[in-house]
């Protein structure tokens, strides 16, 4: 099983290239949004990020659009928090699942996933064409256990 708790770190140039390749403008505000999530390895909700970034004169609209763009590129991933909201975590693209500690909010990625048999079974029973899935494990991390 492959598990990592490293947060993603992109250089400014890599971030600029990603935005340019997707046809979006790269701005200092977007870089600030990304850096905020990198600085918070346990993640932030949109409301938390907006509160911090509004103080830095970055609009709520910019926060939402940047989070959406980074999520679409695979560099932000969401997990549930105990209040039922989504926290966004800086990550690297690729198919992984999150393991989240329900006590301290630590999150780590698990890259092992072979749910192809389950996807085929679901498809055959429902008629759906399964295009993907989101799976999140929760419990207590070794430190909180």
| Predicted confidence pLDDT, tens digits, the chain (145 residues) | 444 444 456 788 888 999 999 999 999 999 999 999 999 988 999 999 999 999 999 999 999 999 999 999 989 999 988 778 899 999 888 888 888 998 988 888 887 778 888 999 999 999 999 988 888 888 999 999 9
Under DSSP, the state recorded for 87 is E
Distances (CA, A) of 130 to 74, 111, 121: 20, 19, 10
Sheet of strand 3-4, all strands in order from the earlier edge strand to the far edge: 3-4, 107-110, 97-101, 136-139
Q: Which of 133, 132, 134, 130 is closest to 121 using CA atoms? A: 130
Q: Which of 66, 105, 65 is closest to 85 using CA atoms? A: 105
Q: Residue 38: helix, strand or coil by DSSP?
A: helix
* Predicted pLDDT at 112: 75
Distances (CA, A) of 140 to 41, 47, 71, 74: 17, 25, 26, 26
Distances (CA, A) of 86 to 81, 99, 119, 122, 145: 6, 14, 25, 26, 24
Structure tokens at 115: 């749910």
Structure tokens at 6: 């490293």
């Amino acid at each position: 099983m492959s598990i990592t708790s490293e947060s993603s770190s992109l250089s400014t140039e890599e971030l600029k290239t990603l935005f340019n390749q997707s046809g979006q403008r790269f701005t200092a505000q977007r870089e600030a949004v990304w850096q905020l999530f990198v600085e918070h390895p346990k993640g932030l909700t949109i409301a938390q990020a907006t509160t911090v970034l509004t103080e830095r004169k970055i609009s709520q609209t910019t926060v939402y659009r940047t989070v959406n763009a980074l999520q679409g590129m695979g560099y932000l991933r969401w997990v549930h928090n105990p209040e039922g909201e989504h926290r966004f975590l800086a990550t690297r693209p690729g198919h992984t699942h999150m393991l989240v500690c329900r006590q301290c909010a630590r999150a780590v990625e698990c890259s092992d996933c072979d749910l192809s048999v389950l996807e085929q079974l679901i498809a055959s029973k429902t008629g759906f064409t399964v295009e993907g899935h989101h799976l999140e494990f929760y419990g207590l991390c070794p430190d909180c256990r």
